[in-house]
Each structure stands twice: as structure tokens, then as C-alpha cells.
Amino acid sequence: MYKTILFFLFLSSLQSATIDEVSEVVGVRENQLIGYGLVVGLSGTGDSASSFYAYQSMSNMLQLMNIKVDPNTIKSKNVASVMVTAKLPSFTRQGDKISVVVSSIGDAKSLEGGTLIMTPLKGVDGVIYALAQGSVSVGGLASRGGGTKHITAGRVPNGALVEREVPFDLYNQTGIKLSLKEPSFSNAISMEKAINRYFKDSIAMAIDAKTVTLQKPEEMSMIRFLASVEEIEIDYKMKSRIVINERTGTVVSGIDVEVAPVVITHGKITIKVSPMTYLPKADENNYHLDKDVSIDKVGDRVITRQKENSIANITRALKKLGAKPEDIISILQAIKQAGAIQADLEVI
């Protein structure tokens, strides 16, 4: 027995967004930091003797405190070797605090209850930009069922103190570039027109699908200029995307991602997406999904009446029919292959 689903077609419109929401200033960005350190104070859940570098690191640290210890004589399992990573935000100043992520690189069973000892964090240039130290938080996970839960990563909130700044002289700039988060020629032109209209001058120019150059008015500082620019609203065409996780069967999409007229047959299910037509009121075999979607079972057909034929509604209807996650994913991929979906389909 075959099941047929019928959907209807509607159109979407442009969205309004501020320039700050859809673009970034070129050169104003965060920087990645990394360091190697030790977590101490573990309750027997640290690295074993096979992770020799943890004990070598402990021996080296103790030597800095005038305590000479042969690493081969250290038998404690209260220490774990870790990599420490962090992001240094733009315009961070000396004395600011940033959070760090601590991840075990040995065979430690858990970092719960440990303390990260002072760890230098370096940038790609090899320069130390921050020092990290503090108690490791693992999100409150504890032992369950009498056994120790393996928690080999955690965070030290505000655990790093910034020692060095990344220089960027924004104030004395006379020109700047804005980079769109999603490349689009139409959005770049829309941004150019909106900025020039706001300042009543040709100070903005789109040079490609992602970049718009700006020339600061002489009577304004760069900071005030950018503050005004980022609040300007533009007609922004959002690029639709459907994300599918094949491992978990998860499908994520915008609620307005539409499907053009198409017919797809998968196993015993036939999906027919048609332009808007009038359907009579359903009989007693009516299954409601929500206020916008209903499924009417008429004989061997299943007809879906709804306000729009979005991916979200199609997915809900397929689930109502008992389709498995792998079937839904295969159907969406087939619809995309047929050209009935204009949104990008990303499988992770």
C-alpha cells in the first residue's frame, strides 16, 4: 500500500537586519591561544606511569622550586598532563580575564576536582599572551553507579589573565573594510546602497561578494562612524541551509525553507508537492500535527493541508507517517538532487 503526501507552494520575502548582525570589521577578530600544563589534586584518576611526560613535567616544575626529583620515582596518580586552549577576543586589554578549556592528553580517567597550575598560553607567533591557573570545572558530572565517570575535559572560567595585548590601531584609520559573514553579491550591493543613503555620500563601495570598503567622513571619528554604520538596517537575503546529521538522524532547517513542485517515491511512501489547490474538508480520519499542519487520510492517500510546504512541515508529516530518520534523510537528499530545494544541503 502506497502513501501519498500533498503539499502547497508559497513564496518567502527578504529579511531586515542591521549591518552589525551580518558583517564584521576586517582586522577586528579573536586569536587562538594554546599551552601545555598540568592538572594536580586528582583523586587517583590522573595519568598512569605509562604517560612518562606527565611525571617528567612534574619533575621539571619541582626543579624550578629548588626540589630535585627523579621522574622515575614519582608514583602518584594525582597528576594529569593537559593541553590548555583559549580564545583571545578583540580589544582585550592587559589584566582582563578569559576562560580556558583543559583537555587531557594522557590516559587520565577524570579531571574532576583538579586544579590547573600556572600555564603560559602562546599565540601562533610563539609569544605568551596569557597565564592560566585555577580549579577545573567539569560541569557538575559526578560518579554514577559506583564507578567513576570518565571526564577528560573541563573549563576554568575566567581562569587566564591577559598579559599581552594584540595591537590594532582602529582610531587613526581613515578607511575600513566590512566582511559579510555569508558571501552574496546582492547583500553586498544592498549594504553599499544603505550606507551611502544614510550618510548622503558615496563613502561605501562593494568590491566583491564579501567585502565592502568604507571611507570615514572627515568630521567623524572612526569609532563614532562604525557605531553609526553597524545600526543601519539593510534588506538582507538570508542564505537557506539544511543540516543533516546522518549519525543521529537529526535534520535542522529554517521553518521557511520551501520545496518546489516535485514527486518522490521512496519505498511505500510517495511524496507529491503541488501548487496551491482547493481541498475539501477531511473526513473523520483526520490527524492534526499542529495549528498549521494537518494530515487527512482518504482511502490509500494521505493528504497534508498546511500554510506552506516547508522542509519543517514535510519532516513532521513524514514522522507522523512513521518514516524512519534514515528514510527522511534519503527523501530530503533525493528532493535536493531533483532541484526542488534551493537551500544548501549539508551532511555532517
At residue 5, does pLDDT exceed 60? no
Whole-angstrom distance, CA of residue 36 vs CA of residue 38: 7
Note whether 224 and 281 are same-domain residues. Answer: no
pLDDT digits (tens, 9 = 90+) for 25-38: 998 889 999 999 99
DSSP string, 100-162: EEEEE-S--SB-TT-EEEEEEEE-TTS-EEEEEEEEPB-TT---BTTB---B-EEEEEEEEEE
The enclosing domain of 206 has a CATH number of: 3.30.1360
Could you tell me if 182 and 256 lie in one domain?
no
Specify whether 222 is located in the same domain as 262: no
* End position of a domain, from candidates 236, 252, 272: 236
Residue 38 belongs to a domain: yes
**Please, which pLDDT band fits residue 69 given cuts at 50, 70 and 90?**
confident
Of 236, 254, 278, the domain-final residue? 236
Q: Is residue 9 part of a domain?
A: no
Give 257: exposed, middle or buried? Use CB within 10 Å, 0-12, 13-18, 19+.
Answer: buried
Residues 110-130: tens digit of each pLDDT: 999 999 999 999 999 999 999
Domain membership of residue 83 as a residue range: 31-162
With respect to residue 186, please indicate whether it lies within any of the assigned structural domains.
Answer: yes
Asked whether residue 120 falls in the same domain as residue 84, the answer is: yes
Residues 42 and 147 placed together within one structural domain of the fold: yes
How many domains does the chain fold into? 3
Q: 151 and 35 share a domain?
A: yes
**Do residues 226 and 281 share a domain?**
no
pTM, full prediction: 0.65
* Whether the Cβ atoms of residue 191 and residue 180 lie closer than 8 Å to each other: yes
Report the SS3 class of residue 186: helix
- The percentage of residues in the chain with a pLDDT greater than 70, rounded to a whole number, is 79
Regarding whether 310 and 245 lie in a shared domain, the answer is: yes
Residue 2 within any structural domain of the chain? no
Backbone angles phi, psi at 299, to 5 degrees: 65, -125
Q: Domain check: are 21 and 62 in the same one? A: no
Distance CA 38, CA 84 (A): 9
pLDDT at residue 266, as a whole number: 75
203: alpha, beta or left? (left if phi > 0; alpha if psi -120 to 50):
alpha
Q: Which amino acid is residue 79, in one-letter code? A: V
What tens digit of pLDDT does each residue of 227-282 get? 999 999 998 877 777 777 767 667 777 666 777 777 777 777 777 776 644 444 44
How many residues are present in the chain? 348
Q: In whole angstroms, what is the distance from residue 9 CA to residue 275 CA?
A: 5
pLDDT in tens, 290-338: 333 444 444 445 455 554 567 777 777 777 777 777 777 788 888 777 7
N- to C-terminal Cα distance for the chain? 33
Q: Within this chain, do residues 114 and 213 fall inside the same structural domain, yes or no? A: no
Domain boundary among 236, 256, 271: 236
| pLDDT tens by residue, 13-65 | 457 889 999 999 998 889 999 999 999 999 888 888 777 778 788 888 888 88
What's the pLDDT score for residue 192?
95
pLDDT at 98: 96
